[in-house]
């Protein structure tokens, strides 16, 4: 069993930055992709970013446009999502997720391909 816990959310002004962290514990050898998803009020949970189990590959949602960077440190069982130039439309609950085991790609984009989910952390972008 793998447990994921996010932290680092909060209130930030437009143009500001936040760094979200995800810590994994339990029976894990880090052989899973680490994804990030978000859910805004009234919207479906959407893909934000993913990094492969090795940390060698990553992918981002189209709206990111170079503003975010995903990373992981398998030795510490942690992963980070650095978010810069945040905008009001980035507001939502952000989740880290582990999965993609046996997937056709090392960087899965579909939330159905993930098995473990954190509790979520609120990100609010407002002036």
Interval 89-100: pLDDT, tens: 999 999 999 998
Vertex 32: Cα angle to 27 and 33 (nearest 5): 145
Give the CB-side neighbour count of residue 9, counting CA atoms within 13 A: 20
Contact status, residue 118 vs residue 25, Cβ threshold 8 Å: no
Q: What is the pLDDT of residue 27?
A: 73
Mean pLDDT by 10 residues, the chain (127 residues): 94 98 86 95 96 96 96 95 98 95 89 95 97
Coil, helix or strand at residue 119: coil
């Amino acid at each position: 069993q793998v447990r994921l816990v996010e932290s680092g959310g909060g209130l930030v002004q437009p143009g500001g930055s936040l760094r979200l962290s995800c810590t994994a514990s339990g029976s894990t050898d880090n052989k899973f992709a680490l994804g990030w998803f978000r859910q805004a009020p009234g919207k479906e949970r959407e893909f934000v970013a993913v990094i492969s189990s090795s940390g060698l590959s990553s992918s981002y949602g189209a709206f990111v446009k170079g503003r975010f960077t995903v990373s992981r440190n398998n030795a510490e069982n942690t992963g980070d999502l650095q978010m810069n130039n945040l905008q009001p439309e980035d507001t939502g609950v952000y989740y880290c997720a582990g999965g993609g085991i046996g997937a056709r790609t090392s960087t899965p984009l579909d939330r159905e391909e993930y098995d473990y989910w954190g509790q979520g952390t609120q990100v609010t972008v407002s002036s």
